[in-house]
Amino acid sequence: MEQKIFVTRTSMPPYEEFAEMIKPLWNTHWLTNMGKYHQELEQKLREYLQVEQLSLMVNGHMSLEMAIQAMQFPEGSEVITTPFTFVSTTHAIIRNRLKPVFCDIKPTDFTIDESKMEALITDKTVAIVPVHVYGNICNVEEIGRIAAKHGLTVIYDAAHAFGETYKGKGIGSFGDASVFSFHATKVYNTIEGGAVASASPDLYQKLYNLKNFGILNENVIADIGANAKMNEFAAIMGLCNLRYVQDNIKIRKKKVQLYNEQLADLSCVRTPEFSQPDVVYNYAYYPVVFATAEYRDIVYDRLKEENIYSRKYFYPLTSDADCFGDRYSTCALDVARDISARVLVLPLYPDMDDDVIVEIAQDIHKISGQAGM
C-alpha cells in the first residue's frame, strides 16, 4: 500500500457546512457552558438514540466517571466489570475509589459472561459495568434480572454501540445509565465528546451539576464536581455529523459484507457475524479472531510492513495493566485472555476504498499461506 492505512479515519462533514454553522459564535461569543448548540445537540441525540435523558460531556471517559460518581457508592465498594475493554472503563471505576472485580467474557460475542457473574457478588458489590463490545450487545435481560435480584446498579459502557437498537429500543435505554463516546475515532464524533443516557431526570440534573464543578447555583456548591462540559464547537460538529451518520453506517455494513466475502474461505480466521437476534448494528469495527495467538501476531506485523495498521484491540486485558500491579485479584479469565491474544481489528471506515479491503484480504491470504496457517 502506498499510503498508510489506519484502523479508522475520522468522518468529517463538508467544510463549508461546518464553517457556516460556527459563524454565529463570532456574534454571540458564547463558546461553552451549556450554550445553544449544547442544548440543541442534547435534544437531537435524545431523539436519535431513543433515550429519555441525555447529558453531553467533554468525552466518553468523563461520562463514565461522572455517571459512576453520580451513583454515590460507598468508597471501596466492588463493581463487577469486564477486562475485555478499553482501559477507560476500568480507570473510571478505580478513579471513583471503587474496586473492579473482573468477570470473564463469552467466546461468541466477547461481552461479559452473565452466567459467571453471580459467583462474584459479595456483600460489598454495588454495581455492574458491562461493555457492548464492537457493537455486540450484552445480555441486557439477564443482567437486568441479576441486578434486580441483588439490588445492583447497572451502568453500560456503550461507547461501541452508538445508534444501535435492541428489540426496537435504543441501546442506551437499558440499565440505570449508558455511556457513549463521540471521540474522533468512533462511528459518530463531536471531535471529542461523550454522553450519559438514562431514563432519570434526577440523574440528568445531578450530571448537569457534576460536569460544572458541582455548582448548583450562585450560592451553593453541592458536589465535588469536575469540568466535563462539551463546548459549542464540538456540539456543532456533532450536529453536522449527525446528518451523515445513518448513511455512513449503511456504507460500513457493505464494507463488512465485502470483508466477510473476501475472508470466507480462510479457515484460520473467524470473521464477525453481527447476528444477535433483534439487534440493529452500527458496524463500528471489523474484528477477526485467528486460530492461534502466533498467527494473529504474524498477520499484525506483516500487514504493518505493507503500511496497513491493524489494532490488537483489546490487548492486553485491562486487568493486566501494569499500573494496577496485582492490586485487583481476578478470577479465571480464560476466555478473555484467549480472545485477547487472538483478536485483530482490521481497518474500517466509510470512505475506505473497496479495493483496499480486497487488497488487505489478499494480503491475509498470502500471509496465512506462507505461514502455513
Per CB under 6 A, residues contacting ligand PLP are 59-61, 85-86, 88-89, 131, 157, 159-160, 181, 183, 194
Q: Minimum CB separation from ligand PLP for residue 192, in Å?
A: 6
> Which residue, 183 or 337, has its beta carbon nearer to ligand PLP?
183
Query: 66: which 3 cell numbers?
Result: 461522572
Task: Give the C-alpha separation, 194 to 181, whole Å.
Answer: 4
> Which residue, 89 or 340, has its beta carbon nearer to ligand PLP?
89
Q: Minimum CB separation from ligand PLP for residue 24, in Å?
A: 26
> Which residue, 295 or 328, has its beta carbon nearer to ligand PLP?
328
Task: Give the C-alpha separation, 82 to 317, whole Å.
Answer: 9
Residue number closest to ligand PLP, CB atom? 60
62 and 93 Cβ atoms separated by less than 8 Å: no
> Which residue, 88 or 310, has its beta carbon nearer to ligand PLP?
88
> Which residue, 159 or 197, has its beta carbon nearer to ligand PLP?
159
Task: Give the C-alpha separation, 9 to 12, whole Å.
Answer: 9
Q: Torsion angle of alpha carbons 73, 77, 83, 86, nearest 10°?
A: 30
Q: Minimum CB separation from ligand PLP for residue 106, in Å?
A: 16
Residue 247 contacts by C-beta under 8 Å, 6 or more apart in sequence?
350
Q: Minimum CB separation from ligand PLP for residue 199, in Å?
A: 21
The helices-and-strands tally (H runs, E runs) of the chain is 12, 13
| Residue 171 three-state SS | helix
Q: Minimum CB separation from ligand PLP for residue 313, in Å?
A: 9
Q: Minimum CB separation from ligand PLP for residue 368, in Å?
A: 28
> Which residue, 102 or 295, has its beta carbon nearer to ligand PLP?
102
Residue 295 contacts by C-beta under 8 Å, 6 or more apart in sequence?
268, 342, 368, 371, 373
Task: Give the C-alpha separation, 226 to 96, whole Å.
Answer: 12
Q: Minimum CB separation from ligand PLP for residue 86, in Å?
A: 4
> Which residue, 84 or 290, has its beta carbon nearer to ligand PLP?
84
Task: Give the C-alpha separation, 41 to 36, whole Å.
Answer: 9
Neighbouring CB atoms inside 10 A of 119's CB total 8
Query: 218: which 3 cell numbers?
Result: 450562585
